[in-house]
Structure 1
Amino acid sequence: MGAVLGQLLPLAVGVAVSPVPIIATILMLLSDRARTTSLGFAGGWLVGIVVATVVFALLGGVVTDSQDDPSTSRATIEIVLGVLLLVVGLRQWRDRRAEHDTPAWMKTIDHMTVAKSAGLGFALAAINPKNLIMCAAAGVAIGGADLTSGGTVVSIAVFAILAASTVALPVLGYLLAADRLRGPLDKLESWLRAHNTAVMSVLVLVIGVTLIGKGVGALG
């Protein structure tokens, strides 16, 4: 299981440092309904990561079990996912200096209900292409490994906790020390808005190259 966890770590970091959900979390923590919306968002974000990872772990297990050479199938899937991440990363890097309008949902955060914030968290985790691809790669790595049921559960849990940490920790910190965090959160939100595209595009490119290299190495 140690080898699988090693594969999951960079993917979990890739999901964790995704700027959009972090910005959304900060905006919710600075809103009038900070406690309820941020808790709903964090819960939806975590559930979305778990659902996407579990689905692809099951698919990865089915695909590899149905092939005579499961390592080849797993390597091919990793290469495809790596190429997809490269495409996303290159597109982001190309557009990093372009002006982007604030998403409409960010303007409605002050009025969001718990249900809407939870749905938003789930969508950003399980439907957003970048995060979905990384959850898919994690699921394939878990499903394609020869793990026991307990090992599979532990691997998914570790990945989900690490991937959700950058959303969950600010929420927990706010619940414990709201007044102290307002200033730092405001500064972090401004920095992320200014640099989020460049940071995420570089990270996505690195993870994409890593997946391709791993897949090519396995095929060789």
Structure 2
Amino acid sequence: MGQAIGSTISLAIGVALSPLPIIAVVLMLTSERARVNGLVFVLGWLIGLAVVGTIVLLVAGSASAGEAGTPATWVGWLDVVLGLLVLRAGFRQFRGRPKKGESPDMPKWLAAVERISPVRALALAAALAAVNPKNLLLAVAAATSIAQTSIPGGQQAVAYTVFAVIATIGVAAPVVIYFALGDRAPHVLGGLKDWMAHNNAVIMAVLCLLIGVKLIGDAIGVLSS
């Protein structure tokens, strides 16, 4: 199980460092429903990752992703495809980065986050975790990586749970700061939000480059074995 957990840590960090969801959480924590929406968003994020992981682990298990610890060939090709898609996403992020002196363009849905209801906060978090292309690709890659180790189903579930918890640190950190710092939280969270917004494209591009190369490297190892 240690191998399964270790193989997904970098992917979990890639999910955790998602600037826009972190910005969304910070904005929610400035609203009247800060306490409820912040906690609900974290819960929704975990639910979104859990749904993706459950589906992929079941499918990969039925498709024999690994036998006696040896990954199936199709897993290698899947890693190639996922790696190329992640690299493409990183390239698009880098091309779309704001030029010097320009303000970064933020999605229109962020403007409504401060007025969002708890139910919609839950749904938004689940969507950002499970439907957002970058996070979806990384969650699929993580679940497939766990499945290919051929460990028992219960251990696979534990390994993916560890992945999901690490992947949630990014959106959970502002909530922890909010409850821990009290009156000082707005200043700290405001600085975090501004930094994330300004560096969103670069952060995403670098993450996608590193993770895309890792996935392709893993694929080469599988296909050459």
Q: Give the shorter-chain TM-score range.
A: over 0.9
AA partner of residue 204 (structure 1)? C
**Worse overlay, 113-122 or 175-184:** 175-184
Shift of 1:63: 2.2
Percent identity between the aligned chains?
Answer: 40
Shift of 1:6: 1.4
Matched length:
219
Shift of 1:126: 0.6
Structure 1 alignment gaps of length 5 or more:
none
Separation in structure 2 between the aligned mates of residue 181 and residue 74 of structure 1, nearest angstrom: 44
**Maintained 8 Å contact 1:14/1:203:** yes
Alignment of 1:112-123 (within 5 A): 112-123=116-127
AA partner of residue 27 (structure 1)? L
| Root-mean-square deviation (Å) | 1.8
CA 93–11 in structure 1, closer or farther in 2 if over 3 Å, else same: same
Shift of 1:101: 3.7
Separation in structure 2 between the aligned mates of residue 65 and residue 29 of structure 1, nearest angstrom: 42
AA partner of residue 74 (structure 1)? V
**Which residue is 1:12 aligned to?**
12
The answer to whether the aligner puts 1:172 opposite 2:176 as a matched pair is yes
The answer to whether the aligner puts 1:195 opposite 2:166 as a matched pair is no
Shift of 1:65: 5.5
Task: Please list the CA deviations of residues 15-40 of structure 1 after superposition, one character each: whole Å capped at 9, or x if unmatched.
Answer: 00011111111111122221111112
Shift of 1:102: 2.9
AA partner of residue 125 (structure 2)? G
Shift of 1:163: 0.2
TM-score, scaled to structure 2: 0.91
**Which residue is 1:81 aligned to?**
82
Shift of 1:112: 0.8
Shift of 1:156: 1.2
SS in 1 for 2:63: helix
Alignment of 1:52-63 (within 5 A): 52-63=52-63
Separation in structure 1 between the aligned mates of residue 200 and residue 214 of structure 2, nearest angstrom: 21
Separation in structure 2 between the aligned mates of residue 187 and residue 172 of structure 1, nearest angstrom: 16
The answer to whether the aligner puts 1:25 opposite 2:25 as a matched pair is yes
**Which residue is 1:145 aligned to?**
149
The answer to whether the aligner puts 1:35 opposite 2:35 as a matched pair is yes
Shift of 1:62: 2.1
Shift of 1:66: 9.7
**Worse overlay, 121-130 or 35-44:** 35-44
**Maintained 8 Å contact 1:40/1:118:** yes
TM-score, scaled to structure 1: 0.93
AA partner of residue 82 (structure 1)? G
Shift of 1:70: 4.8
**Which residue is 1:212 aligned to?**
216
**Maintained 8 Å contact 1:63/1:73:** no
**Maintained 8 Å contact 1:64/1:73:** no
**Worse overlay, 90-99 or 134-143:** 90-99
**Maintained 8 Å contact 1:59/1:143:** no
**Worse overlay, 159-168 or 171-180:** 171-180
CA 144–107 in structure 1, closer or farther in 2 if over 3 Å, else same: same
CA 114–86 in structure 1, closer or farther in 2 if over 3 Å, else same: same
**Worse overlay, 161-170 or 118-127:** 161-170
Shift of 1:100: 5.2
AA partner of residue 158 (structure 1)? V
